[in-house]
Amino acid sequence: MKSVFIVPGDPAQRTGGYLYDARIVAELRRLGWTVDVVGLDGQFPLACDTARRALDQCLAGLPDGAVAVIDGLALGGLPDVAVAHGRRLELIALVHHPLADETGLAPAQVRQLLDSERRALAACRRIIVTSRFTARRLAELELAGTASKVVEPGVDAAEPAPAALAMARGQTLPGPMGLVCVASLTPRKGHATLLQALAQLSRSDWTLALVGSETRDRAHAEKLRQLAESSGLGERIHWLGELDEDQLDRAYRSGSLCVVPSLYEGYGMVVSEALARGLPLVSTTGGALADTVPADCALKVAPGDADALAAAIARFMDDAGLRADLCRAALDKREQLPDWAAAGRAFAGAVRP
């Protein structure tokens, strides 16, 4: 099977959506598929002329009947290009979440993205989404005229975090409670809410490892650093930046609790990554997180509620019995997580049903 996988920008970016795309491509290749990956120049999803030309030239260079999987971030803002090539090619949309659900959009931008994504998806033969939540969301917004195929991410097996093993046995950990938050420093990821919550816990003993790129929104990242300093949290926070796979594993395994403060997620691969190491979570219910975060492994709060987030983190730190229960459940969940090989087979079946 030969296909092309089209993404916006550099395919090697280490965010959840790009990592999903890369792992699916790797699994398709293991299944014997020939997959070419194309990264498009330009601005997305409110596409510029450079982006329009890049997608048009990429699709124009494919032979009739070729299979082209297009990441929704690249596709949704360019419906005219999709329509122009949709009859000649077998276009497959891969939607991580509706573009109009992004945080911080003006009302006119929301309307523009709803209209453009609806028309772009109508030009595709099939639509693949990464969560049941996103499938429901496409239906609610009337963005998809055909049923979406759900292919959830896999996760790599990992050694359990030492702190999780100790807490599951009811042991008291020496030193501060190690909180871990893995997310690019962008508004939708909710870091500001997390810092506001932690400012309420200044008398508690904790540290925070912040893992994620500071270059996707430099202005926002700088505002977060200023907020941390003005809140008196500077010495407790370790700004680790974007990490490679081995470094990320060490960051998870050095922690005691994974905190997911996102305002919205289309899936939230950090959840599976934390559970693969037996780490319990304090998470919001933003977007798909209401579905993807197991109730027995986590304390859940509404997105954007700093008081509730602070209370949940404090409860975890103060209640040894609760910590033990959550850690035991998370360690049990490690054995039930789907791997990337299964995700690859499911994706292949969705492309060629």
Spell out the per-residue pLDDT of the chain, length 353, in tens: 789 999 999 999 988 899 999 999 999 999 999 999 999 999 999 999 999 999 999 999 999 999 999 999 999 999 999 999 999 999 999 999 999 999 889 999 999 999 999 999 999 999 999 999 999 999 999 999 888 999 999 999 999 999 999 999 999 888 999 999 999 999 999 999 999 999 999 999 999 999 999 999 999 999 999 999 999 998 999 999 999 999 999 999 999 999 999 999 999 999 999 999 999 999 999 999 999 999 999 999 999 999 999 999 999 999 999 999 999 999 999 989 999 999 999 999 999 87
Threshold 0.75, pTM exceeds: yes
pLDDT value of residue 120: 98
Domain match, 182 and 327 both: yes
pLDDT value of residue 21: 97
Domain match, 201 and 145 both: no
Domain match, 202 and 295 both: yes
In angstroms, the Cα distances linking 68 to 5, 55, 85 are 6, 11, 10
The domain in which residue 275 lies consists of 162-336
Domain match, 296 and 315 both: yes
Q: E strands along the chain, which residues? A: 2-8, 34-40, 67-71, 90-95, 126-129, 149-150, 177-182, 206-211, 237-241, 257-260, 281-284, 298-301
Domain match, 332 and 343 both: no
Domain match, 322 and 225 both: yes
Domain match, 311 and 169 both: yes
Domain match, 108 and 213 both: no
CATH number at residue 343: 3.40.50.2000
- The domain total for the chain is 2
Domain match, 184 and 314 both: yes
Name the residue with tokens 């229960």: 325
Question: In whole angstroms, what is the distance from residue 227 CA to residue 63 CA?
Answer: 53
Domain match, 169 and 296 both: yes
Domain match, 121 and 264 both: no
In angstroms, the Cα distances linking 114 to 77, 157, 196, 263 are 9, 38, 32, 20
Domain match, 104 and 202 both: no
Task: Tell me the three state secondary structure of residue 49.
Answer: helix
Encoding tokens for residue 336?
């039930």
